[in-house]
Chain A
Amino acid sequence: MSDTTDAAGDSSRLEDFHQEVAKLRASGGRANPDRWVFRIGLILTIAGLAFTVASYILTGQPYDTEGGNLHQSNHLDLIVSAIFGLSLTLVGLVMITISSFRRFMRYWLVRLVYEYREQTDRVVGG
């Protein structure tokens, strides 16, 4: 078996394989997608909280006045940004919960599969 390439190269199976592989669409793949969901969720949660706290702190700042009139639009802007921050936090927490739940369910499934296999082996062995 010093050089089996020639024999293999002529085979129609190998030709089929070349064609099949050419048709495959590589998505690039991503190892452990849950980890990315968790990370993005964590970033969103922290960013959202920061946004909300910053908005809260800014409401304590003196209002801009122009000609002695108080501009309430600033206050409304801060309320909107605080709600936006809370929304980000909520989305982030949902992502963290989903990824954690998925991971937990996966381990549970693996455990079930393992136990089922053990049980089958015992039954067949008996």
Chain B
Amino acid sequence: MSTESATPLLELVGIRAGYGTIDVLHGVDLRVMPGQVYALLGPNGAGKTTTLGVASGQIQPHAGSVLLDGHEVNGVSPDSLARAGVCLIPEGRGIFPNLTVAENLRMCTYAGVSYKQVQERSFAQFPRLQERRNQMAGTLSGGEQQMLAMSRAMATDPALLMLDELSMGLAPIIVEELYEQVATLAEAGLSILIVEQFAQAVLGVANEAAIMLHGRIQRTGPPEEIAEELTAAYLGMS
């Protein structure tokens, strides 16, 4: 079965969306195939986070269709999508800063997974979290917070993982470590949509990449080709 012939796990068709009267996306088309790592790149304000908001059901589009596995899901609530297996790690990580690491992990047992399982999985994936289990999540380093966010996401056993600015505010070595985990997840068959402003790390693990500018996808293609065009796109030369 080739990637071309399979039904996309997530497909956005002609999406126009925004906030109130302000339109941010002006006709976005995007396809994430099963098992694919799709990198959505672009400068600040391009509409990347809004795209994730639409894909996760948090923002209703003014026009266009959101398709999951070929089914239109416009208007389906974010919690229903999350229960089905669509998981978003938002920018800012979305952890509870005034709870401990263990308590944060306990919070994701709502998905029906036992606390023991969540702990085992999280600590196996990120041993550093075990050392910090009784520490307040807000006092963790940025990288550890991102690890905690990823652990919580993986505890829900998602079919489609969406990551918003994984590298934001993190040291390059931590970003590299996190993307190694992303690559491991991708090898296990998880479909991943990554939004990034800084492309270097993500292009190493992506199968497909796109450049987004001013609410439109300007270019889609293999990461190697996209990497060449990025500088020009960011500097407004394309």
**Are B84 and A24 touching (Cβ within 8 A)?**
yes
Count, chain B residues at interface, CB 8 A: 48
Q: Is B186 an interface residue (CB 8 A)?
A: yes
Interface residues on A, range: 20 to 34
**Are A32 and B20 touching (Cβ within 8 A)?**
yes
Cα A6 to Cα B2 with chains together (Å): 8
**Are B186 and A4 touching (Cβ within 8 A)?**
yes
Cα A1 to Cα B191 with chains together (Å): 12
Q: With A13-B157, A31-B62, A123-B98 in contact, is A5–B33 under 8 Å at CB?
A: yes
1/0 per residue, CB under 8 A from B, across A12-52: the answer is 01101110111111111111100100000000000000000
Q: What distance in Å separates the Cβ of A101 from its nearest Cβ neighbour in chain B?
A: 16
Q: Could you tell me the dominant secondary structure of chain A's interface residues?
A: helix
**Are B68 and A24 touching (Cβ within 8 A)?**
yes
Q: How many A-B residue pairs have CB under 8 A?
A: 116
1/0 per residue, CB under 8 A from A, across B1-35: the answer is 11100100100000001101100000000000111
Chain B, residue nearest A11 (CB)? B189
Cα A14 to Cα B10 with chains together (Å): 13
Q: With A1-B186, A9-B34, A16-B159 in contact, is A30–B84 under 8 Å at CB?
A: no
1/0 per residue, CB under 8 A from A, across B195-211: the answer is 00000000001010000
12 other contacts beyond A21-B69, A27-B76, A121-B138, with CB at 8 A cut-off? Answer: A1-B207, A4-B36, A4-B186, A5-B34, A5-B35, A7-B188, A21-B68, A21-B73, A26-B71, A26-B74, A26-B76, A120-B97
| 4 cross-chain pairs, A with B, having the tightest CB-CB distances, nearest first | A29-B75, A8-B35, A4-B35, A124-B138
- By a beta-carbon cutoff of 8 Å, the part of chain A in contact with chain B is 1-9, 11, 13-14, 16-18, 20-32, 35, 120-121, 123-125
